[in-house]
């Protein structure tokens, strides 16, 4: 069993309303040289939670942070013009909370963060500010939205 201390949320960086499946993301990741999908879970537009990698397997979703983390990705993250936007549907939000609660029960010492929270703190002030993000993913403030989740 892996020692999990992080649950990291991602988005597919696809336009709002565009349906994406596990098979689609798996194909994208294989094109990048991954063995399979890098995430452990994917949440569809209708809130369906699909399994990706087995939780026992190390994911491929945040370089340098995969061995002790679970990766969750929701479909969306861009507006119709391709700019970052919180596109989560009500069903996705509900499913994400449900999944996070299950994972927090399983891994009680885990912290929930977004992929963008792993960007470098370029000015060294201890805060990852918007201008420092390597990417906007997951296009909402996961760290603060879920900090008190039980």
Q: Is 61 a catalytic residue?
A: no
Q: Is 106 a catalytic residue?
A: no
The residue extents of the domains of the chain are 6-145
Question: Region 41-54: what's the mean pLDDT?
Answer: 97
DSSP 26: H
Question: Catalytic one among 40, 73, 74, 137?
Answer: 137
Question: Catalytic one among 6, 11, 39, 107?
Answer: 39
Q: Is 41 a catalytic residue?
A: no
Strands of the chain, DSSP E: 6-11, 14-15, 41-43, 49-51, 69-74, 77-78, 111-114
Question: Catalytic one among 6, 10, 29, 40?
Answer: 10
Question: Catalytic one among 115, 118, 139, 146?
Answer: 115
Please give the pLDDT value at position 129. Answer: 83
Please give the pLDDT value at position 121. Answer: 78
Instruction: Determine how many CB atoms are found less than 10 A away from the CB of residue 94.
Output: 13
Q: Is 135 a catalytic residue?
A: yes
Q: Is 115 a catalytic residue?
A: yes
Please give the pLDDT value at position 1. Answer: 72
| Position 57 confidence tier, pLDDT thresholds 50, 70, 90 | very high
> Quick one: tokens of 138?
């997951």
Question: Catalytic one among 15, 93, 135, 143?
Answer: 135
Look at residues 52, 71, 53 and name the one whose alpha carbon lies nearest to residue 61: 71
Q: Could you report the per-residue pLDDT of 86-102, keeping only the tens digit for each?
A: 999 999 999 999 999 99
Q: Could you report the per-residue pLDDT of 6-34, keeping only the tens digit for each?
A: 999 999 999 999 999 999 999 999 999 99
| Single pTM value for the model | 0.94
In the three-class reduction of DSSP (H, G, I as helix; E, B as strand; rest coil), residue 36 is classed as coil
Average of per-residue pLDDT values in the chain: 94
CATH code for 6-145?
3.40.80.10
């Amino acid at each position: 069993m892996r020692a999990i201390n992080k649950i990291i949320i991602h988005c597919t960086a696809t336009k709002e309303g565009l349906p994406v499946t596990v098979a689609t993301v798996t194909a994208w990741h294989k094109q990048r040289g991954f063995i399979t999908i890098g995430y452990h879970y994917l949440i569809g537009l209708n809130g369906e939670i699909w399994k990706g990698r087995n939780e026992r397997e190390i994911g491929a979703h945040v370089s340098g942070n995969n061995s002790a983390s679970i990766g969750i990705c929701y479909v969306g993250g861009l507006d119709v013009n391709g700019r970052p936007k919180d596109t989560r549907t009500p069903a996705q939000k509900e499913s994400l909370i449900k999944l996070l609660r299950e994972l927090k029960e399983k891994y009680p010492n885990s912290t929930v963060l977004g992929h963008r929270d792993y960007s470098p703190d370029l000015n060294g002030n201890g805060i990852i500010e918007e201008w420092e993000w390597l990417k906007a993913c997951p296009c909402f403030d996961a760290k603060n939205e879920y900090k008190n989740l039980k």
